[in-house]
Structure 1
Amino acid sequence: MGVPMTERTRRPSAPTIYDIAEKAGVAASTVSRALNKPGRISTETEARIRAAADELGYRLNPMARSLQSGLTGNLALVMSDMTNPVYFDLVRGAERVTADAGCTLLFADSQENVDIELDAAQRLLRVADGLMLVGSRLSDEQILSLSALKPVVTVNRLVDGIPAATAEVEVGVHQAVRHLHELGHRDIVYLEGPSASWMNGRRHEVIAADAAALGMTVTFLDSDGPTIEGGHAAVPRVVATGATAVIAFNDLLAFGLLQGSREAGVDVPVSLSVVGFDDIFGANLLTPPLTTVRSHMRNLGEAAVLALRNAIAGEDERETERPATELIVRGTTGPVAPAGP
């Protein structure tokens, strides 16, 4: 006699928060807070609850959570240039914290284009609970307009009234300018990034102030873009200034400067010292290896997600830790060559 279909297809019921509560020895409401709003209970209790959930094979149901809370569990991130290696670690840090919270991270690339960035942000806000803008080229007014729809966090950008996660700029710049001064450089160039970049403007300000304090002269040159090609194209204009050192907005520009200098017969670092920003992958593999200001981008990605989740939860804005920057001295900086006879 065959087994009835209902018996053949019956599976064990999925574990619930009540099962987890019983196993962990806590109330069901405590389990709910631990799984849906991490950080609301003690670290030890949360860890015990998560261990019990893993042992029982419990999985959050995003559809059910959405119906209960009105939230999707989706967090959105728009980057100014997804192909820039500086963002690899940032995304990894953001993804780790997002996954730990049981949420999903959605991406878009603005391709350094304001119109594309605004369109991507508006589309993502239809399906996400909040938005992170990384290296945004939008105006303050546009960002404030987006924040009126849903919570927004800026990354490496400050806008009054908007939560932000920013790297500490000053220390790394101080170290870079002083390093060049100690090597005897008095005339330097800052090869600029995009004019709409808040971080470019901030670096410009700090370099100008530090150089003036040390009696150095700075020439500010626009680039064709924060790319290898932009750095390569700038070499003739850098050389024409007579400067003995150049600080580039990012490592990609510095890569291009090294490539163009080599082709033009300019010896780095004998005739020209070069400093980059970010310490992206490959910076230490060049010949000579690049002196650069390192940014701890993974920490920045983690801080951005935490700030966004706090904003979504309606919590008061907290002071986020600013990841430090530091100068990494390698082979592209050296002492000023002695003047000829």
Structure 2
Amino acid sequence: MLALMPPSPQAVPQRPTIRDVAAVAGVSKSLVSRAFASPGRVGEDSLRRIMEAADQLGFRPSWPARALNSSDGGFTGIVVSDLYSPALAPIVIGAHRRLEAAGRRVLLCSASLNQPGADRALEKAAIAFLGDLRPQSLLIVGAVRDESSLEPLGKLEPTVIAGTRDAGIPAAAEVSTDDEAGMLAVIDHLAGLGHRRIAHTSGIGRVGAARARAYEHAMESRGLAGHVLIDRADFEEEAGYAAARRLLALPEPPTAITTAGDHAALGVLAAVREEGSGTSVVGYGNAPASAYHLARLTTVDPDNQAIGAAAAEALLDADPTQGSPPQQIRVTPRLVERSTTGPPPRR
């Protein structure tokens, strides 16, 4: 009978350890650990030898092992609310670049993987795994549904929220676009073209409410308070289309329509083109689709990469011992003029 023998220990490749790196580099194990946790606290020559030894051996530090043997995992966790959102990716990129430049390791986690229009279920297992790794700080990008699962994380380490005003957990800072400046630029642009009857299709949540207020304030500041007209909608294309149909059916329809977001603006634009009214349309967000030749949408660019970088900077500066209210950081947007705005149509 043929007996199956287990492979010898030499036949199983062993993963290199901190001890192996220390031996090759000629330093202590504790110095190797410090080099990967806080490289700024290690001398230049020692750090070079440690990193060369790690590359030679193919060594990579283990986050779970670090988390088990220290107060935190030595990295920043980024939770992005929705991978389908074109607005959130630039925020993550801006934050990631700034954190990497500061020598901070980053682990990205998605709060939702559901398709647009679906009921966004929370990826609770992924968020729980992130918590088990004990991030030393947390960046939340976009509004996360059911934030109760993030509350334990937010209480333990500095947290910064970027790209939304709908977060309900404690944070050191909240970073977003300056809606007042953005909407004022929109109204100035339209008023300069000769528009007076300028309507607005609002979004939902605190972001939608903030942009509706900004539109109203901008109209009032330019002497157009008597023409304020807000249609309650949301950020989706279908809602923008329906809102535009309602507005264009009025006895005195607006000559220009502003929106809380680019997707709603694309719906408005579709209705305007169906009607052939020549109504000007302005979005908010400068989403990739807004620059497509089919749309060429005038819109507000919030500079989402700058929002991400500012959020990362606030995270690096955060003091976990302070319990002060969150710092409100607003990034100034700019108007991008394309082909969907012009003088009022003659009726």
1:107-146 correspondence to structure 2 within 5 Å? 107-109=110-112, 116=121, 123=128, 126-127=131-132, 129=134, 131-136=138-143
- The Cα of 1:243 is off from its aligned counterpart by 1.1
* 2:332 is the counterpart of 1:331: no
| The 10-residue stretch of structure 1 (69-78 or 85-94) with the greater mean CA deviation from structure 2 | 69-78
Q: Residues 286, 36 of structure 1: CA spacing in aligned structure 2 closer, same or farther, 3 A cutoff?
A: same
Q: For 1:188, give the aligned amino acid.
A: I
- The Cα of 1:219 is off from its aligned counterpart by 0.8
**Residue in 1 that maps onto 2:4:** none
- The Cα of 1:37 is off from its aligned counterpart by 4.6
1:19-34 correspondence to structure 2 within 5 Å? none
- The Cα of 1:59 is off from its aligned counterpart by 2.0
Q: Residues 309, 52 of structure 1: CA spacing in aligned structure 2 closer, same or farther, 3 A cutoff?
A: farther
Instruction: State the alpha-carbon separation in 2 of the partners of residues 250 and 260 from structure 1.
Output: 16
What whole-Å deviation, never above 9, does each CA across 1:121-168 have from its counterpart, x for those lacking one? Answer: 975674354654433277999987874466543223457952234234
**Residue in 2 that maps onto 1:75:** 77
Instruction: State the alpha-carbon separation in 2 of the partners of residues 92 and 185 from structure 1.
Output: 37
Contact 2:173 / 2:329 at 8 angstroms: preserved in 1?
A: no
Q: Residues 276, 50 of structure 1: CA spacing in aligned structure 2 closer, same or farther, 3 A cutoff?
A: farther
Q: Residues 252, 78 of structure 1: CA spacing in aligned structure 2 closer, same or farther, 3 A cutoff?
A: same
- The Cα of 1:103 is off from its aligned counterpart by 3.6
**Residue in 1 that maps onto 2:105:** 102
Equivalent of residue 260 in structure 2, options 235, 249, 268: 249
Instruction: State the alpha-carbon separation in 1 of the partners of residues 54 and 281 from structure 2.
Output: 51
**Residue in 1 that maps onto 2:182:** 172
**Residue in 1 that maps onto 2:274:** 263
Q: Residues 232, 308 of structure 1: CA spacing in aligned structure 2 closer, same or farther, 3 A cutoff?
A: same
Contact 1:244 / 1:272 at 8 angstroms: preserved in 2?
A: yes
**Residue in 2 that maps onto 1:300:** 307
- The Cα of 1:323 is off from its aligned counterpart by 3.6
Q: Residues 205, 29 of structure 1: CA spacing in aligned structure 2 closer, same or farther, 3 A cutoff?
A: farther
TM-score, normalised by the number of residues in structure 2: 0.72
The 3-state SS of whatever aligns with 1:109 is: coil
Contact 1:291 / 1:328 at 8 angstroms: preserved in 2?
A: yes
What whole-Å deviation, never above 9, does each CA across 1:23-62 have from its counterpart, x for those lacking one? Answer: 9xxx987875563257x669x9999689657755542221
The 3-state SS of whatever aligns with 1:206 is: helix
TM-score, normalised by the number of residues in structure 1: 0.73
Instruction: State the alpha-carbon separation in 2 of the partners of residues 6 and 263 from structure 1.
Output: 73
Aligned residues: CA RMSD: 4.5
The answer for unaligned runs of 5 or more in structure 1 is none
- The Cα of 1:92 is off from its aligned counterpart by 3.2
**Residue in 2 that maps onto 1:91:** 92
Instruction: State the alpha-carbon separation in 2 of the partners of residues 48 and 180 from structure 1.
Output: 58
Instruction: State the alpha-carbon separation in 1 of the partners of residues 125 and 229 from structure 2.
Output: 36
Identity of aligned residues (%): 26
- Number of aligned residues: 323
Contact 1:77 / 1:108 at 8 angstroms: preserved in 2?
A: yes
| The 10-residue stretch of structure 1 (9-18 or 200-209) with the greater mean CA deviation from structure 2 | 9-18
Contact 1:113 / 1:137 at 8 angstroms: preserved in 2?
A: no
Q: For 1:127, give the aligned amino acid.
A: D
Q: Residues 120, 61 of structure 1: CA spacing in aligned structure 2 closer, same or farther, 3 A cutoff?
A: closer
| The 10-residue stretch of structure 1 (135-144 or 214-223) with the greater mean CA deviation from structure 2 | 135-144
**Residue in 2 that maps onto 1:229:** 238
1:201-220 correspondence to structure 2 within 5 Å? 201-216=209-224, 217-220=227-230
Contact 1:95 / 1:105 at 8 angstroms: preserved in 2?
A: no
Q: For 2:282, give the aligned amino acid.
A: V
Contact 1:191 / 1:246 at 8 angstroms: preserved in 2?
A: yes
**Residue in 2 that maps onto 1:63:** 64
Contact 2:235 / 2:263 at 8 angstroms: preserved in 1?
A: yes
- The Cα of 1:83 is off from its aligned counterpart by 2.1
